[in-house]
A = this chain, B = another copy of it.
Amino acid sequence: MSLAKAQAAVSRRFDRLNMHGIGFTDFVILYILQESPDGKLRRKDLAEKTSLTASGITRLLLPMEKTGLIAREANERDARVSYVVMTEAGRRIYEEAKYTADAIAAELIPAEQFKKYSAAAALFKLLGAVIV
């Protein structure tokens, strides 16, 4: 089961991110948020982009909100949705973690791939290109 193997290997290497106090999935959340045009997304959309369930997102974001990496913002038109916005602290941690993530990604992927992007961004794009 090489898919499982690849994913296990990739996310295990990214465990080094916990030196910034965040896990692999937290980093992915910050990455997605920082990439999104308004810098905020509905929980639903984060769920889709990460392939987690809405429930998983709730549980993942809870500690991130407590430690102040992200914050909650209401939607004026629809009281059901609560946006997830990156805080200043979140952005700072993301920038720090990006260096680590880039180093890890550089160990994982061939050199030509990350001329244009940061290595981490390239890795994500590469994975996106390979499957599904």
Binding site for B on A (CB under 8 A): 1-11, 28, 49-51, 124, 127-132
Contacts and interface: CB of A to CB of B under 8 A. Distances in A.
Contacts of A50: 1, 4
A9, A10, A49, A51 — which one has the most chain B CB atoms within 10 A of its CB?
A51
Stoichiometry, copies per complex = 2
A11 B8 CA distance: 14
A131 to B, nearest CB: 4
Contacts of A127: 1-3
Contacts of A132: 2, 5-6, 9
A23 to B, nearest CB: 13
A90 to B, nearest CB: 19
A108 to B, nearest CB: 10
A49 B2 CA distance: 9
A7 B48 CA distance: 14
